[in-house]
Structure 1
Amino acid sequence: MITLVALWTTVGSYIFDWNDTHIYNPAWPPHARFHNAQTMLLGTVIGLTAGWVLWVPKANALYRLQVASALASYYWITQAGSLLFPGTALVDPQFAYPGQPPAQLIVDAVTLVLLTIGFVLERDRLKRNPQL
């Protein structure tokens, strides 16, 4: 599950941001696009790093699990935390659908739940097999 979240973190923002609501939004000034590009690249780097830490053999598997899980969560935690900044919104008004929760909240919640479940399952497996 953690590998799936790391892969999703690597490519997900390109799926959702490479369109008219984000990178090609005519209302966005160049600096806003710069930060959107930065965020997409951040997701790529974090996802790839999480996968690398999780799958490259090391002496301590629990440590790799902890680091990979933390790395894979950063993008999603920071996306949710962005709502704490002034003037931010999950959806621009022209793209909002009344009564429908923004997709970001659903994706954030599902992703963090998958990470938590994957972490707990693998941590317990490692505790049962300390030689790993």
Structure 2
Amino acid sequence: MSPAFTPGKSLLLLVNLITTIGPFLADWNETHIHNPTWPPHARYHNGQTMSMGLFIGLITFYALFITIPSTPSPQQQLTHLTWVLVLQTMIYVSSLSGILYPGALWMDPEFGDGRPQLYGFPVVVGVAWVGWWVERGRLVGEGKRKRV
């Protein structure tokens, strides 16, 4: 059985926590959910985004740490690990793509003209990729040792 917490999995767990909790910390305030100028449909989409982060966080936590009844091979673990990376990358890349839609802004003008997503989200994706790469290296090494 592979160790629960390795350096690679720890980095992916950090991204997982940001994905799960971050949207609620960033959006449950007067700039988003409690913004009186937001129409109901905007609140719907914000809620959708927060729930998506929660669900992706739960799914990727499961894939990283919940063991399969039989001991998974390093290749099976690598498949799970790669799906974690795909899901974690997908949510941040899709969030970054939001600026490409007509009339989109990084922030509502009443709260400034910053771009926190532009700077923060690529860092989170980078941490996920580093975690995947480190854990992949451990799994590949484990697979080679088992074949010898």
Shift of 1:47: 0.9
1:12-51 matches, cutoff 5 A: 12-51=22-61
Residue in structure 2 matched with residue 53 of structure 1 by the alignment: 63
CA distance in 2, matches of 1:17, 1:122: 32
Larger RCO (CA within 8 A; separation ≥ 6): 2
CA deviation vs aligned residue, 1:28-87 (integer Å, no higher than 9, x gap): 011110111111001000111011111122421100110111112222111101111111
CA distance in 2, matches of 1:81, 1:54: 27
Shift of 1:9: 0.4
Residue in structure 2 matched with residue 124 of structure 1 by the alignment: 137
| 8 Å contact from structure 1 (residues 2, 115) kept in 2 | yes
Normalising by structure 1, we get a TM-score of 0.91
| 8 Å contact from structure 1 (residues 7, 48) kept in 2 | no
RMSD: 1.2
Moved over 6 A (4+): none
How many aligned residue pairs are there? 128
Structure 2 unmatched runs, 5+:
1-10
SS of 2:91's partner is: helix
Seq. identity, %: 37
CA distance in 2, matches of 1:107, 1:123: 24
Normalising by structure 2, we get a TM-score of 0.82
Residue in structure 2 matched with residue 5 of structure 1 by the alignment: 15
